[in-house]
């Protein structure tokens, strides 16, 4: 029984072809294309308003050099939110429950922020490894600790996104299994459990959006340190 709970996180195959590629490509088909008309429909208008609001909030603490990342960061957040939301549908697969995919997003983008900092302002970038006013005996220890914390950042990004989605999906499946088991024996308890399942599903909608926002927000903070 415990093995079946984790089967939902295995990448599905069809004729030996991994369907994770389709799950990653599908969200781009669902986005409405901008129109050349002066007056758009309501969906495109709301989409443009949300993107503008998020872009303004994300780029506010960054200088003009960091604004070049606006398109990449906003596109990544929308893409992650769409994948997470589609994963809440029945009989679907959530690619962001795979740590390899999340690390594939986190490592290159984190490494790009580090390279930009080392290229544009190497003194400031290296200065983050040693806080100002550190006692001389603690300098080697703090440099090692700050270096380790720097290299842990992409791992924390990927693991945080994976853990949030995996825990939510597992909890939903566990409670749904409990509802089906309790329904013939204790209908009242099963109904109460189903109510908890409904509320948890609503919470998972928020969980599908918040980790994607936090993922991109932390990337923008790392970028802020290096531009």
Helices 187-226/139-185 angle, 10° precision: 160
Residues 87-127 have pLDDT tens digits of: 888 777 888 888 888 999 999 999 999 898 888 888 877 87
pLDDT digit string (tens) for 184-202? Answer: 888 888 899 889 888 988 8
**pTM across the whole model:** 0.82
Nearest Cα neighbor of 105 from 34, 38, 159, 33 is 159
- Give the number of domains in the chain: 1
Residue identified by tokens 């409990």 is: 178
Q: What tens-digit pLDDT sequence spans the chain (227 residues)? A: 445 666 666 677 777 777 777 778 777 777 777 667 776 777 778 888 888 888 888 888 787 877 888 888 988 988 899 888 888 887 778 888 888 889 999 999 999 998 988 888 888 778 777 777 778 887 888 888 888 988 999 999 999 998 888 888 888 888 888 888 888 888 888 899 889 888 988 888 888 889 899 999 899 888 888 87
The number of beta carbons lying within 10 Å of the beta carbon of residue 193 is: 19
Say if residues 113 and 222 touch (Cβ distance below 8 Å): yes
Query: In terms of residue numbers, what domain contains 19?
Result: 5-224
């Amino acid at each position: 029984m415990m093995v079946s709970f984790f089967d939902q996180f295995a990448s599905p195959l069809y004729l030996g072809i991994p369907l994770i590629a389709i799950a990653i490509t599908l969200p781009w088909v669902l986005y409405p294309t901008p129109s050349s008309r002066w007056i758009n429909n309501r969906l495109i208008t709301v989409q443009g308003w949300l993107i503008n609001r998020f872009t303004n909030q994300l780029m506010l603490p960054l200088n003009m050099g960091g604004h070049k990342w606006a398109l990449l960061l906003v596109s990544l957040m929308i893409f992650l939110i769409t994948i997470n939301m589609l994963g809440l549908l029945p009989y679907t697969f959530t690619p962001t429950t795979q740590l390899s995919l999340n690390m594939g997003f986190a490592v290159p983008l984190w490494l790009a922020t580090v390279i930009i900092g080392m290229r544009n302002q190497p003194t400031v970038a290296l200065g983050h490894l040693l806080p100002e006013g550190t006692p001389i005996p603690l300098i080697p220890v703090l440099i090692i600790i700050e270096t380790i914390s720097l290299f842990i950042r992409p791992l924390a990004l990927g693991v945080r996104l994976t853990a949030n989605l995996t825990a939510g999906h597992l909890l939903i499946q566990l409670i749904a299994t409990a509802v089906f088991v309790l329904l013939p024996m204790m209908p009242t308890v099963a109904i109460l459990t189903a109510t908890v399942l409904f509320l948890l599903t609503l919470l998972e909608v928020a969980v599908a959006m918040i980790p994607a926002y936090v993922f991109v927000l932390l990337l923008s903070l790392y970028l802020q340190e290096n531009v």
